[in-house]
Amino acid sequence: MIIRYARLSLLFDPKVMQAELALPGDQWQAHFNTSYYQGSWTVLALRSPGGNHTNITPDLMADTNFRDTSFMQHFPSVSRLISDLHCPVMAVRFLKLEAGAVIRQHRDNELAFEKGEARLHFPVITNPQVMFYIEDERVLLQEGESWYINANLPHRVSNEGAIDRIHLVIDCKVNDWLAGIINGSDKISFREEHKKNELPQIIRELRLQNTAVSNKLAAELEQQPGDFVTGNDTAI
C-alpha cells in the first residue's frame, strides 16, 4: 500500500503567517518548471541548498547541506513550526499560485513517503475555487491545515478564485516520528501497489471474471507503463 495523501495533526496559525508575508513582491521568483504551468507560479525560498535564497530548486535526491536563507528571519512563525518537526528538514518554501494560474498535471519523481522523503503542505492563503487534484481526486486543503501529499503521483492544481493561493511547503526526510504523524492521520488515503511482475496474473484473473467491468480494467492494465500499476483506493 502507498499513501496518496494524509491530513496531519500539525498546527500553525495562518493569520500570523499571513501578516509576516508582507515582503516586497519582487522577492518572489518564477518557478523553475516553466513547462508545468500557465500564469504566475512563484517561489520564496526560506531554506535551500547552501542557504542561497536565489536557489529555489529543492534538489532533494542529492546529498545537500540545506540551510536557512536570509528570508527565514522575517518568518518567526515558520521557524517555530520547523522546531516542532522532529525530523530532518530540507527545503522550505512559500509557493504562490496567482489567481487564474494553472499547474498542469505532473509528478515529482521519487518524492514520496515510501521513498523516504515527504512533502508537507501548509495552506496559508487559499480560497474555495482552488482545484487541487491528486490523480483524479479533488482534495480540499484549507487554511490552517497541514497535509502530506504524495508528489510522486500525478497531481495538478488550478486557482479559479479571485485571490492568490499561498502554501508553505516543507520537504522532510522520513523518520519514525514523521511516520507516526502521517500514519496516525485522521484523514488518509491509500492505494494498493502492484509490482509489474504481478501484472500478468492480475490481468488473467480479471479476464476469467469476464464481466464488462473486469474486462475494461484488464484492458487498462495492459496499457499501463512503468514499474508498477496501482488500484483500489481506500480513503479514511
pLDDT tens profile 122-171: 999 999 999 999 999 999 999 999 999 999 999 999 999 999 999 999 99
Q: Say yes or no: 109 and 203 in one domain.
A: no
111 and 217 in a single domain? The answer is no
Model confidence band, residue 221 (pLDDT cutoffs 50, 70, 90): confident
Digit-coded pLDDT (tens) for 192-210: 765 555 567 667 766 776 7
Look up residue 106 and give its three cell numbers. 505532473
For residues 217-230, give the mean pLDDT.
60
**pLDDT (0 to 100) of residue 62:** 52
Could you tell me the pTM of the whole model? Answer: 0.81
User: DSSP assignment of 86-149, as one string?
Assistant: -S-EEEEEEEEE-TT-EEEEE--TT-SGGGTEEEEEEEEE--TTEEEEETTEE----TT--EEE
Look up the domain containing 107 and give its range.
2-185
CATH number at residue 97: 2.60.120.330
